């Protein structure tokens, strides 16, 4: 049992401050006391991003359930989610990491992974043969499949879909009758489902993350017309608010995100689009000499959320950092791709900090300023209970939300992320354009 010593209140304490019996427990380590304080005091919300100082609850939220758009409510109820328990469900504060070592410990082990796309028919006859239409939305990125229900796909079609996503970066399906559980099952087929330690999820279904900015705004997220894009200028001084900054999900993981599935069941009439960048095409924008310089380099990738250093708890926020190859090889397509994003790629190993910043900022610009390697997708509303799905490969892409509807009409969905392989670089692999035999400019040749 801990012994407590009572401190003397200072004679200089201002008279308007209530005198309290401050107690310091001598024989409990300071990190444990800090952890206890953070877990028991909602106002000490230090583990979240600075801009997301939300007053999130824990457990299933009965007030949240009342805010659900009708179309979403119908989908969730049709899908067997018991909303009487509350919605969404938030992780208990006891389970949210306080110290960065606790965040590292989550999934800090190898998980076997075989990319379903690597065993698929390259012609995708089962998938394309059953679809009514296959529409390429741009030349480099984004394909829409018409006339298929995701819940009805055979394993062969799922494998072919994985390869199509890996090649086209993102694939869309409108008018889908898809329960959160069926979405979860598809994600489970594609890899190791990520259970987010902080984000709200569908009640009773960890791993089905709720994407619902309207709910976060109710909890205090300061998202508005004026600040929405600040992170696209300087993501260090002005961290991302919501998901409106170009980013890739979960790059700090030991096995980062692969196939990722967002299903929106409430969609604004106008606005709320999502954009994607092809990281294969970004790599192919570079000269041969510059590709050679980057090939084999490694970089530091950080988490979106911040934690504390146990050995220096008052030293400020700390992120999970993992080192992975800067240029990687995709296991299903075999193509090389550039792995950077402005928010979470912080340093290239072996370069001075100034050199690293210069190269990274150039690479961010290559991705963000080349409109021909991007797609912007307009989600569409269908009948209540139905929604639209986007499945993208986080390995070979960046994405961002466009919050132009300013919450005037509701936007709600669920996301399931399948974690993939430990990233690797095969020096024998080719870029997408090399593999496809497409022309590449030879500078000064
Ligand atoms: Fe994201």
Q: Which residues pair with 345 in a beta bridge?
A: 301
User: Ligand 1 centroid vs 336 CA: distance in angstroms?
Assistant: 22
Distance 355 CA to ligand 1 centre (A): 28
Q: Mind listing the pLDDT tens digit for each residue in 166-210?
A: 999 999 999 999 999 999 999 999 999 999 888 899 999 999 999
Q: Is the pLDDT of residue 152 over 60?
A: yes
146 near 137, Cβ under 8 Å?
A: no
List residues, by chain if needed, whose CB lies under 5 Å from ion ligand 1.
243, 249
Q: What is the pLDDT of residues 82-94, one digit of tens each?
A: 999 999 999 888 8
Domains of the chain are 59-436 (3.60.130.10)
Give the residue, 282 or 24, on which the prediction is more confident.
282
Give distance in angstroms: CA of 399 to centre of ligand 1: 6
Question: What pairing do the DSSP bridges indicate for beta strands 374-377 and 312-325?
Answer: unpaired
Beta strand 257-266 with 412-419: parallel, antiparallel or unpaired? antiparallel
Within 10 Å of residue 59's Cβ, how many Cβ atoms?
Answer: 13
CA of residue 156 to ligand 1 center, whole Å? 28
Q: How far is the CA of 201 from the centre of ligand 1 (A)?
A: 15
Tens-place pLDDT, residues 280-328: 999 999 999 999 999 999 999 999 888 999 999 888 889 999 999 999 9
Distance CA 269, CA 411 (A): 10
Cα of 22 from ligand 1 centre, angstroms: 44
Return d(Cα 247, Cα 345) in angstroms, integer.
9
Query: Binning pLDDT at 50, 70 and 90, where does residue 8 land?
Result: very low
Whether pLDDT at 11 is above 50: no
Helix (H) or strand (E) holding 129: helix 125-130
- Specify the pairing of strand 335-338 against strand 430-431: parallel
> From ligand 1's centre to the CA of 262, what distance in Å?
9
Crossing angle of helices 155-168 and 180-190, in 10° steps, is 80
Q: Ligand 1: distance of its center to the CA of 209 in Å?
A: 11
Please give the distance, rounded to the nearest whole angstrom, from the Cα atom of residue 249 to the centre of ligand 1: 5
Residues 263 and 143: their CA atoms lie apart, in Å, by: 16
Residue 53's nearest CA partner among 298, 220, 302 is 220
Residue 218: is it exposed, middle or buried by C-beta count within 10 angstroms (0-12/13-18/19+)? middle
What distance in angstroms lies between residue 65's CA and the mean position of ligand 1's atoms?
23
Mean pLDDT of the chain: 91
Partners of residue 44 on adjacent β-strands: none
């Amino acid at each position: 049992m801990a012994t407590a010593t009572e401190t003397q209140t200072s004679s200089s304490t201002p008279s308007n401050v209530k005198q309290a019996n401050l107690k310091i427990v001598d024989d409990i380590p300071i990190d444990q006391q800090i952890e206890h304080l953070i877990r028991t005091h909602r106002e000490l919300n230090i583990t979240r991003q600075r801009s997301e100082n939300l007053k999130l609850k824990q457990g299933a939220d009965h007030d949240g359930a009342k805010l659900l758009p009708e179309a979403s409510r119908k989908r969730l109820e049709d899908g067997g989610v018991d909303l009487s328990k509350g919605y969404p469900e938030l992780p208990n504060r006891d389970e949210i990491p306080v110290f960065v070592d606790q965040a590292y410990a989550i999934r800090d082990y190898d998980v076997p992974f075989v990319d379903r796309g690597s065993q698929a028919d390259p012609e995708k006859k089962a998938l394309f043969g059953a679809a009514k239409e296959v529409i390429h939305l741009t030349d480099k990125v984004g394909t829409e499949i018409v006339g298929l229900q995701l819940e009805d796909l055979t394993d062969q079609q799922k494998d072919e879909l994985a390869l199509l996503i890996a090649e086209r970066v993102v694939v869309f399906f409108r008018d889908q009758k898809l329960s959160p559980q069926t979405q979860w099952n598809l994600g489970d087929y594609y890899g190791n489902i990520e259970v987010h330690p902080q984000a709200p999820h569908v009640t009773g279904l960890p791993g089905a993350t709720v994407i619902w900015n309207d709910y976060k705004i109710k909890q205090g997220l300061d998202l508005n017309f004026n600040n929405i894009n600040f992170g696209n200028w300087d993501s260090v001084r002005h961290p991302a608010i919501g998901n409106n900054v170009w980013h890739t999900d979960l790059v700090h993981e030991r096995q980062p995100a692969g196939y990722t599935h967002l299903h929106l069941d409430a969609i604004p009439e106008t606005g709320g689009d999502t954009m994607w960048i092809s990281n294969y095409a970004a790599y192919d924008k570079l000269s041969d000499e510059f590709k050679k310089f980057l090939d084999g380099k490694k970089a530091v990738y950080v988490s979106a959320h911040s934690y504390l250093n146990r050995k220096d708890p008052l030293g400020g926020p700390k992120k999970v950092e993992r080192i992975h190859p800067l240029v990687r090889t995709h296991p299903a397509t075999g193509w090389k791709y550039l792995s950077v994003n402005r928010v979470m790629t912080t340093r290239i190993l072996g370069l001075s900090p100034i050199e690293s910043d210069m190269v990274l900022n150039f690479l961010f610009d290559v991705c963000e300023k080349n409109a021909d390697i991007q797609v912007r997708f307009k989600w569409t509303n269908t009948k209540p209970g139905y929604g639209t799905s986007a499945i993208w490969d986080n390995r070979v892409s960046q994405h961002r939300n466009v919050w132009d509807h300013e919450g005037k009409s509701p936007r709600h969905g669920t996301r399931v992320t399948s974690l993939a392989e430990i990233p690797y670089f095969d020096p024998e692999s080719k870029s997408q354009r090399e593999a496809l035999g497409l022309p590449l400019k030879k500078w000064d040749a």
